[in-house]
Structure formats: C-alpha cells, structure tokens
Amino acid sequence: MSRALADEATIQWYPGHMARAMRRLTEDMRAIDLVVEVADARVPLAGTNPALARLAGKRPRLLVLSRAQLADPETTAAWLAYYRERERAALAVDAKDRGGAARLREALEGLASGRRSARVIVLGIPNAGKSTAINALAGRKVARVEDRAGVTRARQWFRAGERLEIMDTAGILVPKIDSAQAQWKLAVVGAVPRARFDPEDVAARFHRWLLETQPESPVPDLETFAQSRGFLRRGTIVDMHNAAAAYLKELGDGAFGRMTFEEAPLP
Ligand SMILES: Nc1nc2c(ncn2[C@@H]2O[C@H](COP(=O)(O)OP(=O)(O)OP(=O)(O)O)[C@@H](O)[C@H]2O)c(=O)[nH]1
Ligand SMILES: [Mg+2]
C-alpha cells in the first residue's frame, strides 16, 4: 500500500482525539523518566509504533507483550530472543494473571533500579492493554479497562509502590497501518473500533493468511463456520455478516487456539 493510502486508512480508522493525543505526547514526554510500551503479543510488529523509539529518546524502555496467553508460545519465545539479542528490555505476560502482574512489576522495578523515584508513561495503540498493565503495576484497579478501543481519554497519574508514578495517557499511539496485512491483524486483536472495518473482509484475509502459513490448520473458513453454526437468514440464506462478527469474536478470544500473526525475524 502506498504511503498516501496508509495515511488515509489511519485517518479513516481513528477519530480526531487520537491525532491530538499523539501531538500531546511529545509534550508529555518531558516529565517522563521511563517508557513502557504495551503491545498485544499476537502482533509484535503491527501492534507497535516504530515512531516511539524517537519519541522515547534516551529514556529506558520496556516492551510489554500483553495477552501472552492468546499468542503462540514458541513464537513469543522467538520474539523475546530477538529482543534480547538487540538488548531491548521485553517481557510477555498475561497481565490479568497474578503471576504475570508480579513479573511486570519486577521488570519495571528493574528498569527503575538506581533511581530514587521515576515517572513512567505507559503507551500503546488502542486496546493494547495499557490500563490493564497499569492496574497490574499499581496492584489494584486504578485505570478503567474495557473490551473496546478508545476507553481511556484523559491523562491520569497513579502511584505504584514507593518510587514509581505512572501516567495513563489518552493512551495512545496511532498504529502504523502500512499494509493490508496490518489492517486485518489490528482488527482481529481489537485495536480498531468495530464500526470501522468489514468483518467479512477481515475474516477472509485472516483465513487466507492461515492457509498460506499453516496449510494443515483445522480452523474453519468463514463460510464453513457460518454453515456449521447455523447462521441463517429466513431459514436458507447464510447470514455472513453476523457469522463474521461471531467468527472474529472467537478468533480474538482464542477459541481457535493460540496464534501469533507475525513471526520473529531470524537472528
Ligand atoms: N487476559 C488478559 N486480558 C487483557 C490483557 N491486557 C488487556 N486485556 C483485556 O483487553 C481489554 C482491553 O484492555 P485495556 O487495558 O482496557 O486496554 P487499553 O490499552 O487501556 O485500551 P484503551 O484505553 O481503550 O486504548 C480488556 O478487556 C482487558 O481485560 C492481558 O494481558 N491479559
Ligand atoms: Mg486504557
């Protein structure tokens, strides 16, 4: 996809408040010592924004691959090895799990070691799990969490332990949607508001990718799924639209098994 088209897709998918949030981010960064980026473990590439490296400058950064329980464990291990090789601090967690939350706190403490206090910003694309990560870090529910993109809008500070203060922003890094592949992946992991994509198209693109990468996979295509689940209108016509919504819900929730949509580059 051309640069112009990618920009157009970004504009179509994301309301104005996110563009404003991105501009404000540069300003917010002045008060920040440590940067935590949250990305869904199923999309380590499409789910991160390469512009963040520049934005973070010399500040220590931690990459949190969230919802690790939904990603393919071997692929996650390969991604972590890749980051380790590049000396990028990263961990994969289910931040809703006690053990995951504890590992997350430990990793951030490690990043803050040697400092008497540190101000932390938690960033990520819509619905990446930023508020969930903040709640895990704070050890209690301080940030609002919802199963849809764009919930957190105002900046808030939270204390996490003695030394750390955490900013929950409007969150939001605009994802870099630079290909049709990135589009369906971001839709599947819930980074795109539901009204802004065609579920049938996303389901079809997912299954095409699946056949190319794992020809033996037993995961049904949308048509088969719709037939077998009895998504019918007026008794006979297959109701593809509602079937596609159900298909994407199951895929997103991991009902078709653990999957990662992007392979780690070979070392
Ligand atoms: N099990 C599990 N669920 C998660 C994890 N991270 C996020 N979720 C779920 O994903 C959904 C979105 O999480 P949020 O923390 O609200 O995401 P956010 O990045 O703050 O979203 P916005 O503020 O809307 O951009 C919620 O239903 C969370 O419970 C995780 O690591 N494990
Ligand atoms: Mg949030």
Q: What are phi and psi of 122, to 5 degrees?
A: -110, 115
Ligand 1 atom nearest to 152, measured from its CA = 23
pLDDT in tens, 105-130: 999 999 998 899 999 999 898 899 99
- 31 C-alpha to ligand 2 centroid (Å): 20
Report the alpha-carbon distance of residue 111 to residue 120 in Å, rounded.
Answer: 10
How many degrees, rounded to 5, is the angle at CA 154 between CA 91 and CA 53?
40
What are the Cα distances from residue 4, in Å, to 8, 12, 51, 162?
6, 12, 17, 47
Bigger pLDDT: 138 vs 22: 138
Ligand 1 atom nearest to 151, measured from its CA = 24
pLDDT band per the 50, 70, 90 thresholds, residue 79: very high
The pLDDT assigned to 16 comes to 62
The pLDDT assigned to 216 comes to 95
Ligand 1 atom nearest to 134, measured from its CA = 15
Average pLDDT of 50-74? 93
Per the listing, tokens 């960064």 go with 29
Residues present in the chain in total: 267
The pLDDT assigned to 148 comes to 59
State the sign of the Cα–Cα–Cα–Cα dihedral 95, 97, 100, 104: positive
Residues of the chain with CATH 1.10.1580.10: 180-253
CATH superfamily of 3-172: P-loop containing nucleotide triphosphate hydrolases (3.40.50.300)
Is the pLDDT at 199 greater than 90? The verdict is yes
The pLDDT assigned to 1 comes to 38
- The verdict on the CB of residue 135 being under 6 Å from ligand 1 is no
Is the pLDDT at 11 greater than 50? The verdict is no
Per the listing, tokens 């206090």 go with 117
Is the pLDDT at 258 greater than 90? The verdict is yes
The pLDDT assigned to 146 comes to 62
- The verdict on the CB of residue 145 being under 6 Å from ligand 1 is yes
pLDDT in tens, 14-55: 556 556 666 778 888 888 999 999 999 999 999 998 888 888
Average pLDDT of 169-185? 76
Residues of the chain with CATH 3.40.50.300: 3-172
Report the alpha-carbon distance of residue 35 to residue 100 in Å, rounded.
Answer: 19
pLDDT in tens, 219-237: 999 999 999 998 887 777 8
Tell me if residue 227 falls in helix, strand or coil.
helix
The pLDDT assigned to 266 comes to 82
Average pLDDT of 138-166? 72
Q: Is the pTM for the entire model greater than 0.75?
A: yes
CATH class of 180-253: mainly alpha
Bigger pLDDT: 166 vs 64: 64
Report the alpha-carbon distance of residue 64 to residue 92 in Å, rounded.
Answer: 6
